[in-house]
Amino acid sequence: MTIIIITMGIHTITPMTDYLRDPAAIYAQSFATVRAEADLKRFPEDLANVVVRLIHACGMPEIAADIAYTENAVSRARQALNEGAPIFVDATMVGAGIIRNKLKCSEVICTLNDPGVADDAKAEKTTRSAAAISRWTPRLAGAVVAIGNAPTALFRLLELIADGAPKPAIVLGFPVGFVGAAESKELLAADQHGLDFITLKGRIGGSAIAAAAVNALAPTQIVGQP
């Protein structure tokens, strides 16, 4: 809430409260708070930095306990992004949250609204999110996959890989919801297909967390961020 004072035709806006305005200071204080409140001891340093970003995206330090990952997840993801691998996302909101100027030449691809996807979903009696995943296969080998919305997208990805589709370099699995989210991430974490991954077990997830994972793994870091 602000008070607007009009004096001799000059508008002066007086803040009701004092608050931090400097972007670098806000980032620094935010990440310091996350590190103070979250239990990061079980993570290697490179992954701990990623987990900090995931927590920052949702404001919940307690999610650190539910992060599952493979040993080479961070190195594989960063290598892929350094080489300009495509980034496949299941929802436009995930793509919108990815900071493009942190990437080298990776293309962010969302096929959810491609022509024919809705028809495919109807014919296959599934969701558009699941139907859209089949369009990734020509460029899936060595790619970065970030799923932050639909559990059916993650289920379908794992089905395709089980059937012989190319393996991505990394799967960032953060679908959200009450139906299938926990189950799809448990299936990913079961590591039945030799995939490298980072995921958050349970119902919590979302586009902001998935995008934060990509941003944390990107080759170029923005000042003030880990």
Condensed to tens digits (0 to 9), the pLDDT of residues 113-163 reads: 999 999 999 999 999 999 999 999 999 999 999 999 999 999 999 999 999
220 or 55: which leads in pLDDT = 55
Whether 178 has a pLDDT exceeding 80, the answer reads yes
Please state, in angstroms and rounded to a whole number, the distance separating the CA atoms of residues 162 and 160: 5
5 or 188: which leads in pLDDT = 188
Q: Is position 56 annotated as part of the catalytic site?
A: yes
Cβ-based neighbours of 191, under 8 Å, separated by 6 or more: 70, 197
Domains within the chain, CATH numbers bracketed: 23-217 (3.40.50.10230)
60 or 12: which leads in pLDDT = 60
Q: Is the dihedral of CA 166, 149, 200, 44 positive or negative?
A: positive
Please state, in angstroms and rounded to a whole number, the distance separating the CA atoms of residues 153 and 155: 5
Task: Give me the catalytic one of 53, 56, 102, 156.
Answer: 56
Condensed to tens digits (0 to 9), the pLDDT of residues 68-91 reads: 999 999 999 999 999 999 999 999
When the pLDDT of each residue in the chain is averaged and rounded to a whole number, the result is 91
